[in-house]
Amino acid sequence: MSLSVVGIFHTLFGLFALFAAAWLIIKFQKIAISHPLGKLYMLATAITAATSFFIFNHGGFNIAHGLAALTLAALFVAILLSFFKIFGTLTPYFQLVAMSSTLLFHLIPAATEVLTRFPLSEPMVKSFDDPLLHKTFLVILVLFLVLLIWQIARLKRKTIYIR
């Protein structure tokens, strides 16, 4: 199964976004939207999510498209929270959750695509009901929750020491 032009574009922007997120988390312990790379991450993530609506490898509208819609919504919320501190001192926490969620929403379809395409001769997963796919999703979710708890704890410590 080869990639379409839209699929190639989508994949390249998605890979860039994943690498940018990893670098930002390592450097700042969060996806810092005020940093230039954070802005590029948001743009690449929005492009990745938007282009996914034009990819129908598995029939019609599916869960990956729903995750793309959630990604765009999370980006929108994070951007709004950077302008309006509607949750007061809790606003940075909500923004952190929104931005980190975009990473989760990237990883689930990315893992699905990798496992259903590779190795090319005999993909590891042949169906969405495959236990390996479900275990992979569980590992991604657990790692996401650990990352999120770590990020929140670091943000809380930083907030306490700043005051």
Spell out the domain ranges in the chain: 5-162
pLDDT at 163: 37
Query: Is 21 in contact with 44 (CB distance < 8 Å)?
Result: no
pLDDT of amino acid 1:
58
Give pLDDT, residue 20. Answer: 98
Residue 135 has pLDDT above 70, yes or no: yes
What value does the mean pLDDT of the chain take?
92
Three-state DSSP at 127 gives: coil
Q: Write the single-letter amino acid at 146.
A: V
Give the pLDDT mean for 122-146. Answer: 95
Q: What is the C-alpha to C-alpha distance for residues 163 and 89, in angstroms, rounded to an integer?
A: 12
Q: Name which residue leads in pLDDT, 93 or 64.
A: 93
Q: How confident is the model at residue 105 (pLDDT cuts 50, 70, 90)?
A: very high
Q: Residue 115 and residue 109: Cα distance in Å, rounded?
A: 10
45 pLDDT band (50/70/90 cuts)?
Answer: very high
**DSSP state letter for 2:** P
